[in-house]
Amino acid sequence: MIFLTALPLFWIMISASRGGHWGAWMPSSISAFEGTCVSIPCRFDFPDELRPAVVHGVWYFNSPYPKNYPPVVFKSRTQVVHESFQGRSRLLGALGLRNCTLLLSNLSPELGGKYYFRGDLGGYNQYTFSEHSVLDIINTPNIMVPPEVVAGTEVEVSCMVPDNCPEMHPELSWLGHEGLGEPAVLGRLREDEGTWVQVSLLHFVPTREANGYRLGCQASFPNTTLQFEGYASLDVKYPPVIVEMNSSVEAIEGSHVSLLCGADSNPPPLLTWMRDGTVLREAVTESLSLELDEVTPAEDGVYACLAENAYGQDNRTVGLSVMYAPWKPTVNGTVVAVEGETVSILCSTQSNPDPILTIFKEKQILATVIYESELQLELPAVMPEDDGEYWCVAENQYGQRATAFNLSVEFAPVILLESHCAAARDAVQCLCVVKANPEPSVAFELPSRNVTVNETEREFVYSERSGLLLTSILTLRGQAQAPPRVICSSHNLYGTKSLELPFQGAHRLMWAKVGPVGAVVAFAILIAIVCYITQTRRKKNVTDSPSFPAGDDPPVLFSSDFRISGVPEKYESERRLGSERRLLGLRGEPPELDLSYSHSDLGKRPTKDSYTLTEELAEYAEIRVK
């Protein structure tokens, strides 16, 4: 397009060549606003040799052939026209100068169509030209927007209206352009085919917010009420921006989770849900959700939403935290140690949130941490008392799990103080209680008889283990005297320990010697002595001649002086032995080792002289009874 000012309308369109053939020129199309006018520029030619005296012409509407009786728009010979064009058509050009320009006024929609010109030189020299012009009656300005408007890039939008009416010219103004820029009116422009337009330009840099903006242009004609408006919506292209996204999500294990991602872009973006580089779901849409059914701790992590189109991309992430109860704790560390060594035990688990970890033994808390996944238990120098079962417990608000583990402390044998020998019925039992790990061997030594009995000889020794305690019982059967010395010896790979067992309940041994018959004799002797003392006191009172010096108190014997000491200790010993058996879980009587005197030992028994006092007291008691 070339900017022109006031120039003759027709003569600048094409050079006036004098050709030697029939021909015509006019714009193939032309437009005008309803209610205004339009000038259709036209030029024709004919052979030079014809040299007519008068040149006439006819304009037809929608058909070039007279035989079809098309409506006559203008006829120079008779001025007879179709009723639709009465008072509306007029010839502006001079036919003699081969100018056939036509002016149509007071345009209405029914006048839109094809217009043909026929040259009439008289006689048979008439010719209807095939060239024609199409008239378009419009009501709106033409707003021209570039095919691609990108946010951030300057664009030019133009408003164009036809200006082909010599009697009235339009004025242009923009509607709704506030914030976009100031318009620039270029003025009147000539088109390639000789028609004219009014143009106004608007330059601005669009933003994403301008997408869909409705921009208008108004054409008005001064001194008339004619106004025409046209609108165009801006299709602004811009890269995606994620505008909707979950914040951090917390979900309980096994629940349903929905992650939503929404983006604003033009054209619509390709939305993609990803985790650790793996595509989980994608679609070309403005909003995309990711559905997770029955979430597990394995789905805990960071999820990314990527939005992209031809103009750019955007991405955001969201963290999914799956809340769950602690897993069963695992224990890694030393579980077998030698006394005195340092033991380190690590208890670990996994949960969300982090748990409270506790290590305890026999309901006593040894170590604990809060909101940690690991707990270290340090025992700088283990002792036998540290041996046993431990528990590591992990708990949070969603549950509790525990793991048991055993710490085995190995140490040399220790013979406990409750080890002893005691009389039981007609035998003596020796109890040896040993604490050791690993399990020790136990042997009983009788140095005076050069005899050693170990626990493998089960007919003589009964052993029972409970935890770290090994209890062995040796029974000396038929023992009528004080038992020989008994030494308990215990051994394992960490050492050997020996202890001479003390004898408890010596009076019980005396009862074993006396026996039932001896008890009856002792009771008779006691009665005789009491009777003898009573008679002596009576004689003293009768004769008043005391057998004892005056002032001396007579000897008095009480029954308590002949009380067999050790009887209470016997029952106490039996009670303790029974308790120990119940504690150790012993059942029945332990086997007994018969160490009673043989025939070869008869010479070692007490002589008759040993019993002289007893016999005399018995005879005295018999006389007094008679």
Tokens standing for residue 102: 């036509």
Q: Are strands 469-477 and 593-594 parallel, antiparallel or unpaired?
A: parallel
Name the CA dihedral angle for 449, 454, 459, 465, rounded to a multiple of 10 degrees.
140
pLDDT tops 90 at residue 101: yes
- Which residues, other chains included, contact 501 with Cβ-Cβ below 8 Å and sequence gap of 6+? 419, 420, 421, 430, 431, 432, 486, 487, 488
517 vs 239, which has greater pLDDT? 239
Q: Compare 11 and 494 and report the one with higher pLDDT.
A: 494
Identify the bridge partners of residue 281 per DSSP, sorted by sequence position.
273
pTM here is: 0.58
Going by pLDDT thresholds of 50, 70 and 90, the confidence category of residue 220 is very high
CB 531 within 8 A of CB 624: yes
Q: Which two tokens stand for residue 550?
A: 């005056």
Tell me how far apart the alpha carbons of residues 192 and 2 are, in angstroms, rounded to a whole number: 9
Q: What is the pLDDT of residue 521?
A: 56
pLDDT given at position 605: 36
**Higher-pLDDT residue of 193, 327:** 327
Which residue blocks in 485-559 are alpha helix, DSSP H? Answer: 506-543
Residues in contact with 451: Cβ distance below 8 Å, sequence separation at least 6, in sequence order: 445
CA-based nearest residue to 274, from 290, 254, 293: 290
Fold of 416-504: Immunoglobulin-like (2.60.40)
330-411 topology per CATH: Immunoglobulin-like (2.60.40)
What's 100's DSSP letter?
-
If you average pLDDT over residues 360-377, what whole number do you get? 93
pLDDT band at 609 (very low <50, low <70, confident <90, very high): very low
Same fold, 239-320 and 416-504: yes
Per-residue pLDDT averaged across 551-557, rounded? 35
pLDDT at 405: 92
- Asked if 139 and 122 touch (Cβ cutoff 8 Å), the reply is no
Say whether pLDDT at 545 is over 70: no
| Partner residues linked to 323 by β-bridges | 252
DSSP 244-290: EE---EEEETT--EEEEEEEEEESPPEEEEEETTEEEEEEESSEEEE
pLDDT of residue 583: 37
Break the chain into its structural domains and give their ranges: 23-137, 140-234, 239-320, 330-411, 416-504
Of 520, 483, 480, 514, the closest CA to residue 605 belongs to 480
Confidence band, pLDDT 50/70/90 cuts, at residue 9? very low
Percent of the chain surpassing pLDDT 90: 55
pLDDT of residue 574: 43
- Stretch 346-352: mean pLDDT, rounded? 94
pLDDT of 360 higher than 80: yes
pLDDT of residue 12: 36
Arithmetic mean of pLDDT over the chain: 80
Residue type, 44: F
* CB-based contacts of 20, cutoff 8 Å, min separation 6: 47, 48, 49
Per-residue pLDDT at 480: 46
The alpha carbon of residue 209 and the mean position of all alpha carbons in its chain are separated, in whole angstroms, by 38
Express the helix, strand and coil content of the chain in percent, nearest 5 each: 20, 45, 35
Class of domain 239-320: mainly beta
The C-alpha atoms of residue 418 and residue 576 are separated, in whole angstroms, by 10
Q: What is the pLDDT of residue 538?
A: 60
pLDDT digit string, tens, across residues 228-242: 999 999 999 999 999
**What mean pLDDT comes out for the span 259-281?**
95
User: Token digits for 622?
Assistant: 């018999």
Euclidean distance between CA atoms 612 and 618, whole angstroms? 10
Sheet holding 149-150, edge to edge: 149-150, 236-245, 257-266, 287-292
- Give the dihedral sign, CA 567/570/572/574: negative
pLDDT over 60 (residue 513): no
What is the rounded distance in angstroms from the CA atom of residue 503 to the CA atom of residue 244? 90
Note the pLDDT tens digit of each residue in 454-474. Answer: 888 888 899 999 888 999 998
- Domain 140-234 of CATH type 3.40.1710.10: no
CA quadruple 363, 366, 370, 376: dihedral positive or negative?
Answer: negative
Question: In CATH, what number does 23-137 get?
Answer: 2.60.40.10
Locate 188 and state its tokens: 């009147």
**DSSP secondary structure code for residue 602 in this structure:** G
Residue 8 Cα to chain centre, angstroms: 83
Torsion of the alpha carbons at 187, 192, 194 and 195, rounded to the nearest 10: -50
- Which is more confidently placed, 571 or 159? 159
